[in-house]
Amino acid sequence: MAPVTELSNPLRAVFTKAERPSLGVWQMFPGANVSRAMARTPDIDWVLVDCEHGNIDDGAMHDAVPAIAALGVSPIVRVADNQSWMIKRALDCGAHGILIPLIRTVQDAKDAVMASKFPPWGNRGFGSPYAMERFNPVPSMTDYLQLANDSLLTMVQIETKEALADVEAIAEIRGIDVLFIGPFDLGNNIGHPVINGEIKPELSAAILRIRDASHNAGKKCGIFCTSGAQASQFAEIGFDMLSVTTDVSGLQHFLAESVSLARGAGNIAKKTSY
Ligand code: 3PY
Ligand code: MG
């Protein structure tokens, strides 16, 4: 078998080319068929498998990640918490990147990097028989071991008051690829929650500070959006990674709108679980 020289990672490839922002969708229902339906969305680079707030346990994650990867889209896993065993499970099932919620300190972010990287850089354990098949061409275990540290993406969520205060230092950490904003938690934690979709000026200023800190450190900045229109607005002001919708809110909206049209009541305003 010819050696593989890089792990195919569609999301990282978009970041490297830096020609356009990257769009993705957010999986919260379990099931490989849900993953495949989402990964077939035209023009997306990634599907995020949400083990923090979604109904996705370890087994469902192991079903979702290969289903997404098989369609040439990057499977990204949001782990439930910043714990090394959760990061290990996500990477071992073949995630192309991980997203870690509720980072608070520089040390939290450094711990996340350590858990994501094989020695000598970090302390990730080696031995998954599954991860290799999530890349095309499929690397040998040895190739995966040698390429994973530089190919997989480590992304941290900036959504606490403490992380916002230290965002410039967090952005500088080697091995953090993306700072990703959770506007709902960030708003709650700085005392300006998103209510009925409204982003207050204080939250807006915090979001722009995180964008600037990321870019000043040569890192990418992402944000969770609740609609395509909102994702487009953030793309226009320089965000690199936009979530467009979730399976739950997309389904709710589609069903409500279809029933409304069937009753002759016309299109409905977007009203979903967010
Ligand atoms: C937030 O808005 O807090 C998120 O993490 C999105 O899921
Ligand atoms: Mg959050």
53 labelled catalytic: yes
Cα 9 to Cα 144: distance, rounded to the nearest angstrom: 13
Tens digits of residue pLDDT in 70-108: 999 999 999 999 999 999 999 999 999 999 999 999 999
Task: Answer yes or no: are the C-beta atoms of 224 and 183 closer than 8 Å.
Answer: yes
> Does the structure show a pLDDT above 70 at 271?
no
- pTM to 2 decimals? 0.96
CB of 185 sitting under 6 A from ligand 1: yes
DSSP track, 220-241: EEEEE-SSHHHHHHHHHTT-SE
Residue 193: cis peptide before it, omega within 30 degrees of 0: no
| Amino acid at the residue 150 | D
| Ligand 1, atom 5: closest residue by C-alpha | 182
Is there an atom of ligand 1 within 6 Å of 182 CB? Answer: yes
Give the distance (Å) from ligand 2 centre to CA of residue 39. Answer: 23
Return the pLDDT at 160: 98
Q: Identify whether the C-beta of residue 215 lies closer than 8 Å to the C-beta of residue 239.
A: no
Most informative mutation of 55, 76, 156, 184 for ligand 1 (most atoms within 8 A of CB): 184
Question: What would the DSSP string read from start to end of 64-96?
Answer: HHHHHHTTT-EEEEE-SSS-HHHHHHHHHTT-S
Average pLDDT over residues 50-59: 98
> Does the pLDDT of residue 269 top 90, yes or no?
no
Nearest to 124 by CA among 103, 104, 101, 95: 95
Domains of the chain, each with CATH number or no CATH: 10-248 (3.20.20.60)
Q: How far is the CA of 209 from the centre of ligand 1 (A)?
A: 17
Closest approach atom of ligand 1 to CA 183:
2
Helix, strand, coil % in the chain, rounded to nearest 5: 45, 15, 40
Ligand 1 pocket, 26 CB below 6 A?
no
d(CA 6, CA 22): 20
> How much distance in Å is there from the Cα of 104 to the middle of ligand 1?
15
pLDDT tens track for 103-147: 999 999 999 999 999 999 999 999 999 999 999 999 999 999 999
Q: Which ligand minimizes its atom distance to the CA of 203?
A: 1
CA of 122 to the centre of ligand 1 (A): 27
Least distant ligand from the CA of 102: 2
Cα 9–15–20 angle (5° rounding)?
120
